[in-house]
Amino acid sequence: MKHITMKDIAKEAGVSLATVSYALNGNTGVSAAMRQKILQIAEEFQYVPHMSAQILARKTTPIVCGLVRSFSGVFSNELWDEMQDEFQKAGYLLVAVNRLLPELIGSDLFRGIVVLDFDITDQEQAIIDALHAPTVYLVGTHSPAKAQVMMDNQQAITLAYGELAKSVHQRLCILSGRETSINNYERLNTVKKLYSRDHPGTDVDSVVFSADFSYANAYDMSADLLARFDSFLCFNDVMAMAIYKGAFEKGLVVGRDLSISGFDNSILAFSASPGLTSVGFDGHQWAQEAVHQFKAAVRHGSDNIPATLISPTMNVRESIRYKEISEN
């Protein structure tokens, strides 16, 4: 497929190359009507500007550092795709960097930073903040004044816990994630309060098991846990799949002999058999809000931008055996 150039657009619009450049880069010197005409032609031709031309026109780089530790999580991969699409629409190129190198992320190469790393430490956050670059966090931080677009963990866990409360299976096991994760901290605090409310006098820690968000760790625990519990609230879908496997090996059927709720509503939840009930978030909305916050940070700095919470949805499938169904 031929790469469309500004010269092609100029020829189609019947104007000079300079006029096309002014219109595409938002400069003065072109009428509103002509700008709209040129933008429409560019869209129809699916014009993609060379990055070098963008940098020269804007006198700044359109590259944004997407800070991640790894892409091992399914949910992170899906969110990353949405983020890349939305930043591209806004005229930026989101590039993954999986090591915290101040000399790199603080260089002129990047216009700013989006922190997708859900396990950011206080020390790492301090390094990032010291760069004074436009920054948006996709996780809660200990600097609440920073631009943040976060999942509403409290509401999400409340939904998942409430869904399992409708099950005939009431011997609840809570599979939590890494202690360093702020998301895990928020989810665990919420579910402990809910469990203590419903089971006064019971030691909630006796039903909490940390599998570090890991499939392997959850699977290693599964045989013992399945002998003691029949209801599982997992802090991600990956750990829920480990319980699925453990149940299969013991001849147990998910949705009949035990109930499971996951977290993330990833592709694993859709493809599981039976389908996994899982609480999740709209990745497209999350990405749009992140771009909105990033633009605000570029204009005004990252401080004193109100945090945005992304509301969850409960996606009910067949992994929970409900009281009403069992009694019919």
Q: Which of 5-19, 210-224, 244-258 has the lowest mean pLDDT?
A: 5-19
DSSP strands (E only) in the chain: 63-67, 93-97, 112-115, 135-137, 149-151, 172-176, 208-210, 231-234, 259-264, 277-281, 308-310, 312-315
For the chain, give the percent of residues with pLDDT over 90.
Answer: 45
Better-scored residue on pLDDT, 280 or 63: 280
Region 220-235: what's the mean pLDDT? 97
CATH of domain 6-57: 1.10.260.40
Region 94-123: what's the mean pLDDT? 73
Better-scored residue on pLDDT, 186 or 27: 186
Instruction: Tell me if domain 63-151+283-312 and domain 153-280+314-327 are identical in fold.
Output: yes
Q: Write down the pLDDT at residue 55.
A: 47
Is residue 196 very low, low, confident or very high in pLDDT (cuts 50, 70, 90)?
very high
For residues 3, 5, 9, 11, the Cα torsion angle rounded to the nearest 10 degrees is: -100
Is residue 70 very low, low, confident or very high in pLDDT (cuts 50, 70, 90)?
low
Task: Note the pTM of the prediction, 2 decimals.
Answer: 0.75
Residue range 63-151+283-312 forms a domain whose CATH class is alpha beta
Q: Quick one: residue 259, left, alpha or beta (phi over 0 = left, psi -120 to 50 = alpha)?
A: beta
Better-scored residue on pLDDT, 114 or 123: 114
Region 305-327: what's the mean pLDDT? 86
Is residue 173 very low, low, confident or very high in pLDDT (cuts 50, 70, 90)?
very high
Residue 247 has pLDDT above 50, yes or no: yes
Region 44-73: what's the mean pLDDT? 65
Residue 174 has pLDDT above 90, yes or no: yes
Q: Which of 74-83, 249-258, 271-280 has the lowest mean pLDDT?
A: 74-83
Query: Whole-number mean pLDDT of the chain?
Result: 85
Region 179-202: what's the mean pLDDT? 93
Is residue 68 very low, low, confident or very high in pLDDT (cuts 50, 70, 90)?
confident
- The distance of Cα 268 from the centroid of its chain, to the nearest Å, equals 15
In the CATH scheme, what is the homologous superfamily, with its name and number, of domain 153-280+314-327? Answer: Response regulator (3.40.50.2300)
Token couple for 314: 């409960």
Domain range list for the chain: 6-57, 63-151+283-312, 153-280+314-327
Is residue 6 very low, low, confident or very high in pLDDT (cuts 50, 70, 90)?
confident
Q: Write down the pLDDT at residue 203.
A: 93
CA distances (Å), 59 to each of 16, 52, 133, in order? 22, 10, 16
Q: Which of 41-45, 208-212, 229-233 has the lowest mean pLDDT?
A: 41-45
Angle between helices 74-89 and 283-300 (to 10 degrees): 50
Q: Write down the pLDDT at residue 1.
A: 46
